[in-house]
Structures are given as structure tokens and as C-alpha cells.
Amino acid sequence: MHVVYPTVVSALLFSIGVYGVLARRNTILVLMSVELMLNAVNLNLVVFDVWLRDRLHSGQVLTLFVIVIAAAEVGLGLAIILALYRNRQTVDLDRLRTLAEPTDTDTDTDAGTRTGTDPEGRPVADVPAGAPDLAVDPDAGSARRSASAVSPSGTSPSGSVADQAQAAPESVIRPGDTP
């Protein structure tokens, strides 16, 4: 077999891997693309070892080392991805650019929106900065305004904070309920 065919296959594999690293936003797909690039290098090492008829088979030995390093890289990479998913609930690389831990209410001063989590821990984004938080009361089955709805003067839109806490919750109609 001529050396050109496996070299072309290796170049194609490496090109696909580079495209995957540069274009993908999913962390697992980026990790798979890195593995494709490492396998293209391994193919080249073995092909040129056979083509040059090396007595020590140094290309094949180096390929074994690359395989061991790739296995360790996959184990460590997946552990990091799982830890990030537990903390951030996403594996999207665009959302993982910052090193800061997510907080309950991060304010984006440029866009005037607030991001964070709802009472159940689900991520919430693009809430207007002036909008009040809504807390769900599971016993009453209704929504009430939380203390963050209080204006800077210490009063809520409907009166004082004490009046708001003692006020009866409003009923909420859910999908499937009959009026």
C-alpha cells in the first residue's frame, strides 16, 4: 500500500477534528473532536513507521503513549464536564466562558436584565431588572410577591411590607383548570 492513502485519510480526520473544536459549542463534542485529531496523529505515526521500516518501531511505541495520554485526557475531561454540569446545568461552551460561580440574581447592567434561578433551582434569564420576583406558595397554590418587590422607600406597590405579608394571596388559574 502506498503512503499517500493513509496520509490523506489522516489529514481528513485531523481537519474534521479541527472543525469540530472550532465550530462546536457542546463540550462533549469538542472532546470527541480532540480525540479525532489524536487518532489522525496516531495513524500518521504508524504509517510513517511502517513506510520508513524503523527497526525500533518508534512510531508504534509513540502511538501507544499517545493512546494512554488520550485515555487519561478523556477521563479527566469527562470528570470536569460532569462537575461543570452539576454546577451550571449546561455543557454549552458559550455559557461556560466566565469563571465566576452563578448567583441567584446577577444583574446585567448593559441590558437591564437579571439572571439567576427560580425557587426550584431552574435557571432563569432575561427578567427585566425592575420586575418583582414571584414566589410560589405550594400550600395555597397561588403566587405572591416576595420582599424584593419592595420599592427603595420601604413600601410595596400595594402598601407597607407588613400589609403585603398579611394580605391574602391571589388565586391563580393554571392550564387545565376550569374557571
| pLDDT score, position 89 | 87
Query: Which conformational region is residue 173 in: left (phi greater than 0), alpha (psi within -120 to 50 degrees), or beta?
Result: beta
pTM (predicted TM-score): 0.54
Q: 40, exposed or middle or buried, with CB in 10 Å at 0-12, 13-18, 19+?
A: buried
Listed by start position, the domains of the chain span 4-88, 105-171
Opening angle at CA 155, ends 150 and 157, nearest 5? 75
Facing residues of 117 across strands?
A: 123
- Which one-letter DSSP state was computed for residue 26? B
The per-residue pLDDT string of the chain (179 residues; one tens digit each, 9 = 90 and over) reads: 789 999 999 999 999 999 999 998 888 999 999 999 999 999 999 999 999 998 889 999 999 999 999 999 999 999 999 998 998 888 888 887 776 666 665 444 455 555 566 666 666 665 555 555 554 445 544 444 444 444 455 544 555 555 555 554 556 666 766 66
Q: Please provide the CATH number assigned to the domain covering 4-88.
A: 1.10.287.3510
Q: Given this model, what pLDDT does residue 116 score?
A: 61
Number of H helices, E strands in the chain: 4, 8
- What gap in Å lies between CA 66 and CA 70, rounded to an integer? 6
